[in-house]
Amino acid sequence: MPSGSLDTLFAPVRPQTAFEETLERLGTAIKLGLLEPGARLPPERDLCGRLHISRSTLRQALTALVQSGHLYAVRGRNGGTFVAERPPAASPPSPALLAGWREALDARVAVELGVAFLAAERATPAALSGLDELVAAMDDRLDDFPAYRQADVRWHIGLAETTGSTRLIGAMTEAQSAMSDLIHHIAHPPEVLAWSNAQHARVLAAVRRGDGTHAVAVTSEHLRGTEHVLAGLLPGEAGLTDLAR
């Protein structure tokens, strides 16, 4: 691997999305061939130092990539974490979907940040109780992505419903439809789902306090995390971002 590519791959990540960005960096490097099939990853201590992340964050990202089939772990004296010989099978997205995936995420950001802010002003305790139940349901469905995703969609649209805005509900429904089209083409490691659902709970906590600023901040973190996961795991050219520049 050229030293310049190594420097970019292992540059420090942002703390707000450290888990997802680490996943993106490694997943993208595998797709680019910067980490070749069968290659052994550097020691954890080295990776943590270069990326400026904790060992627990690195291990979460590595676990997710093992679960998705991008990496595999070997125990013992000559063990370590290695790049899979073959990338995980996934249906390729259409060219049109790949061309517009970032615009779909931009539209989602605009809708969801507004929803989070207004929800903090308008959500009733009864509405939030229903959303709490969906968070609990998602925690129970980490190994069943179709069921998890169904509850996930209901959660996001349900948060929009707390604003009382018909237009926002429609916009959220459209945004979630676009997201479903995208995430159909990636693996869904339970580690990633658990992390994402913990952010759902944090959004609800901020909304319940009436803290719109914090609700927006956590929602932004949640959405940027999704962007990193897609960039790292989407098949083909879609995720080849920073490392390809």
157 residue type, one letter: I
Closest among 4, 5, 84, 70 to 39, alpha carbons compared: 84
Determine the Cα–Cα distance for residues 111 and 170; give it in Å rounded to an integer.
10
**Between residues 174 and 131, which one has the greater pLDDT?**
131
Query: Considering only 5-19, 78-92, 121-135, 185-199, which range has the smallest mean pLDDT?
Result: 5-19
Indicate the pLDDT class of residue 29, thresholds 50, 70 and 90: confident
Distances (CA, A) of 170 to 207, 226, 238: 21, 21, 27
pLDDT digits (tens, 9 = 90+) for 161-189: 999 999 999 999 989 988 888 888 888 99
pLDDT at 90 (0 to 100): 57
Distances (CA, A) of 229 to 77, 95, 96: 32, 19, 20
With beta carbons less than 8 A apart as the criterion, state whether 108 and 153 touch.
Answer: no
Ranges 12-16, 29-33, 53-57, 119-123, most confident: 119-123
Determine the Cα–Cα distance for residues 130 and 31; give it in Å rounded to an integer.
40
pLDDT at 243 over 70: no
pLDDT digits (tens, 9 = 90+) for 79-103: 889 999 876 655 666 777 766 788 8
pLDDT at 2 (0 to 100): 41
Residue 64 is encoded by which pair of tokens?
């997710």
Looking at the chain, the whole-number percentage of residues with pLDDT higher than 90 is 49
Query: Considering only 33-42, 81-90, 235-244, which range has the smallest mean pLDDT?
Result: 235-244
Q: Phi, psi at residue 211, to the nearest 5°?
A: -95, 85
pLDDT digits (tens, 9 = 90+) for 191-239: 999 999 999 999 999 999 999 999 999 999 999 998 888 888 877 655 4
Domains (range + CATH), the chain: 3-89 (1.10.10.10), 95-233 (1.20.120.530)
pLDDT at 197 (0 to 100): 97
Indicate the pLDDT class of residue 78, thresholds 50, 70 and 90: confident
pLDDT at 135 (0 to 100): 98
Distances (CA, A) of 73 to 38, 59, 81: 11, 11, 4
The CA-to-CA distance between both ends of the chain, in Å, stands at 16
With beta carbons less than 8 A apart as the criterion, state whether 113 and 216 touch.
Answer: yes
pLDDT at 9 over 70: no
Q: What's the average model confidence in pLDDT over 8-31?
A: 79
Determine the Cα–Cα distance for residues 35 and 143; give it in Å rounded to an integer.
28
- The chain-wide mean pLDDT, for the chain, equals 86
Provide the CA 216 distance to its chain's centre, in angstroms. Answer: 17
Helix, strand or coil, per DSSP, at residue 174: helix
Distances (CA, A) of 115 to 26, 82, 208, 210: 32, 42, 14, 13
Percent helix, percent strand, percent coil in the chain, to nearest 5: 70, 5, 25
Residue listed under structure tokens 């207004």: 118
pLDDT at 69 (0 to 100): 86
With beta carbons less than 8 A apart as the criterion, state whether 64 and 23 touch.
Answer: yes
